[in-house]
Structure 1
Amino acid sequence: MDDILVPKERTDAVVFIGVDDSGGVEFVKVYAVDEEKARAALEEFFSARGLFPADYRLVSRGLEDVSGKGAITTRSEAELSASLARLGLKLLSNGVLDVGGLDRVYQFTLVSEELYLKLRRKEEAEKAKKRGLALTIRAAIELGFHTLIVNLRGINLEPLLPEGAKLLREPSPGEVLREMGRGEFQVVVETVWPDKYYTVPFGARIKIPPMSRQEFARELENLVGVPVDEGILDDYPEWLFNYRNLEMIVQIFEKLRKRGMEKEKALETAIFVNLGFVPSEFEGLDDGIRPSKP
């Protein structure tokens, strides 16, 4: 490749980099028509920039789908640009790769040792945050105050209750006040509709967020053994991404499977039924319940 650092239209390989404010290269991604071209472009780029391969870690390699792109540019890599921007890096490239009619290209992705450690620390912090969720809930309840828990994730709270605590699910405000007045138990209220308790004097309030669409899809996939396209969940409101609703979908799925429906169709139907649609597979559902003619 002639002059690897000059931005131009290319037909064999293109190099994207993420640079910090001082111009240091913290991220490198090479797209090429095949692995050999990708390796050659990477070696030439390192040499031209005076970079040492030993200072970088290879974090990803292999074929990547580019069907429908036509060309790989900084504009087509908007998601990558946004991800790098969150890390304080700016996306640059040495041009545009014309992929023609190719559906896949080969890629190498490398990060500097410093960025790698930063990403690892961030990942560990996220894991620690998730591990600490139950501990935080338990610790808050164990303070002994009457507690309101907005459980949008639908987790099982029973194992988190200390001795002497009484769990009420969606009670009326009057019932909560009566239990508080008796003074026999620490009252823990579980709800998804917290506004109705605005007059109740809770000492502690905990909000457990729902699952993300991605988490919900993966959990569902693990339970039914069928790949779940996140797009099928686009119409779901956020508050339905919880474990209780997950169980409902699985129960519908299992009933449909017992009727002989194929797995993929049963899952799709279960999701739509749970959301509120009535698919055509339920023909005859109204047999016998139509009003008779006068």
Structure 2
Amino acid sequence: MEEINKPKERDDFVVFAGIRPDGKIEFIKVYAISEDLAIAVLEQFLRENNIYPSDFIVIQKGFESVKGKEAITTRSEEELSATLSRLGLRLVSNGILYTKGRDKIYQITAISKDLLETEMSKEEKIIEDVKFNFSKVGLPEKYSRRLNLLSLMEDALILNRAELDVPTIIKNSIEGRISIPRLIEVEGIIIRVFDEEYHEVKGSHLDKVIVKPPVIHWDAHIDSIEDFSFKNIEENIYSAPLFLKAMGGFLILTEPPRDLVRMLLKMKKRGEVKVTLNGRRIRLPVNFTIIVDTKYPENYSGLKFPIRINLPPFDDDTFKQVLSKALGVTIPTGVLPMFPEEYRTFLGVEIIANLWRKLTKSKNKDSIELLREVAAIVSGGTP
């Protein structure tokens, strides 16, 4: 590979560095057209500048949008330059990277352990706020009123006989922002907390990320219990389990095993998790809100939840209201008894509406006839 430090125009990679007035490098960011190239460039840059890899920590990596950018230069990175300037660092680069119409470029960002330690020791007050706005999702008032209890940020058990898509409703209703650490370092062990899959970024600092309050969903029917384990991704570096990634937000568990819920409740009561990683026993603080989403509350009898929310199936008025809204037509009251009781739920209406739309495209019938046909289909009768 060519000499990394040589300034030039390129179409495959570029390196940015944040340096002290004395020339010490404290920050490195590599943009490259692939992950493998980015890693190779970073490794060679460290060698050329006599930097020990163990003195730096990768705080972020992955594809970054460059849509609309013809080139990546120090001028295009004004926000990064301003951030580094506040830290007493000057942004320099080894040239220009032309994007050649690409929408995204892979990047790796690493900072020195000295800089990370300095920044983590600073007390910077960040205003945090978590709230719900259920008016955005159009729930019937009696359901949104009950779900508003979640704004108390206390563990909750939801008896979901209404078959509401609780994770989606909460994700679409939650507002505000919180601060989470990019990573936690304890006794040489690094736990990566920030995860682009789960966290919606609102702002960024070197050691912290401002995110929308996370709403992380785990479904016992399709997800793995391994999601609650620390996963080794590099030497002394681990990916955080879901309960740490849900820091400051909600961990929604659909029909979870009782033992898992009991473990998480006990962990929260203690305020920390104890874990042995690489032979070292470490303790990590925990701060998340548990929501158990279930139709079988008896599975969790004896477990203490500060909040219990009952979401009952629809009565006639609610069924008519929700179904009429879903279909975009006025539903005659006399048609409602044709539908089985088990379809008087949010999921039931979703199924009815899907069948309705398909029949509307294929059959030339009026709305009442189609509705009767849908009722016959879902009840197992003859259309």
TM range (shorter): 0.3 to 0.5
| TM-score normalised per structure 2 | 0.34
Larger strand proportion, structure 1 or 2? 2
